[in-house]
Amino acid sequence: MNAYGKVIKYGDNVDTDVIIPARYLNTTDKKELASHCMEDIDPDFKNKVEPGDIIVAGRNFGCGSSREHAPIVIKESGISLVIAKSFARIFYRNAINIGLAIIECPECIDEMDEGDKVRVDFDKGEIVNETKNKTYKASPFPPFIQTIIQNGGLINSIKNNAFGG
């Protein structure tokens, strides 16, 4: 599995209220929700995002509400991966559970700029910033998380009897 795209960059403590403001949570329609992705922090997001793009952010990405709508709108917008210095724990769980790829890589964030082209090889755990010609190693997920990912999310893990095994 790989990801390749341009970087869309944010700072520390990007909260779920700016990822998807609560005023739009009166629907579960993914497309409708995604039309408001990042609206309160980056009104231009929906114009600049292209399939495969990678969100790069600082500490505590996804803090705040437990709304799963946050990773859902990011995934639905075509983002292939979020790389951050750290993730808020509920967002981290939710991303894994719905199959949005995320990587913690504290050392690579400050050296990435908006628009850089980045390639990620998940199997090798390798992050390559092609624009800056820099390569980083990301730490792999614990095995139980890999099982959820391999099964295509938590619900499929239960269907496949891979939950609790």
Partner 1 sequence: MSAMTMTQKILAKHANLDSVTAGQLVLVDVDMVLGNDITSPVAINEFNKLNLDKVFDKEKVALVMDHFTPNKDIKAAEQCRQCREFAMEMNITNYFEGGNVGVEHALLPEKGLVTAGDLVIGADSHTCTYGALGAFATGVGSTDMACGMATGKAWFKVPSAIKFVLTGKPSKYLMGKDIILHIIGIIGVDGALYRSMEFTGDGLKYLSMSERLSMANMAIEAGAKNGIFEVDETTLEFLKEVGAKEPDVYKADEDAEYDEVYTIDLSKLGPVVAFPHLPENTKTFDQFDDIKIDQVVIGSCTNGRLEDLKVAAEVLKGRNVASHVRAIIIPATPKIYLEALEKGYLKIFMDAGCVVSAPTCGPCLGGHMGILAKGERAVATTNRNFVGRMGHVESEVYLASPYVAAASAITGKISHPREVME
The two beta strands, 126-129 and 134-137, are antiparallel
Minimum CB separation of residue 143 from partner 1 in Å reads 9
In three-state form (DSSP H/G/I as H, E/B as E, the rest C), the secondary structure along 5-31 is EEEEECCCCCEHHHHCCHHHCCCCCHH
Nearer to partner 1, 131 or 147 (CB): 147
Spatial distance between the Cα atoms of 40 and 46, rounded to a whole number of angstroms: 12
Minimum CB separation of residue 49 from partner 1 in Å reads 19
Interaction site with partner 1 (CB under 8 A)? 13, 15, 17-18, 21-23, 25-28, 40-41, 59-60, 63-69, 71-72, 86, 88-90, 93-94, 97-98, 142, 144, 153-155, 158-159, 163-164
Minimum CB separation of residue 92 from partner 1 in Å reads 9
Minimum CB separation of residue 119 from partner 1 in Å reads 29
The set of residues, in sequence order, having a beta carbon less than 8 Å from that of 144 and lying 6+ positions away, is none
First and final C-alpha spacing in the chain: 25
* Interaxial angle between packed helices 89-98 and 69-76, expressed in degrees from 0 to 180 and rounded to the nearest 10: 50
Nearer to partner 1, 1 or 22 (CB): 22
Nearer to partner 1, 5 or 75 (CB): 75
Minimum CB separation of residue 6 from partner 1 in Å reads 25
Phi then psi for residue 129, to 5 deg, are -90, 100
Nearer to partner 1, 72 or 118 (CB): 72
Nearer to partner 1, 41 or 134 (CB): 41
| Neighbour order of strands in the sheet with 126-129 | 102-104, 81-84, 54-57, 2-9, 117-121, 126-129, 134-137
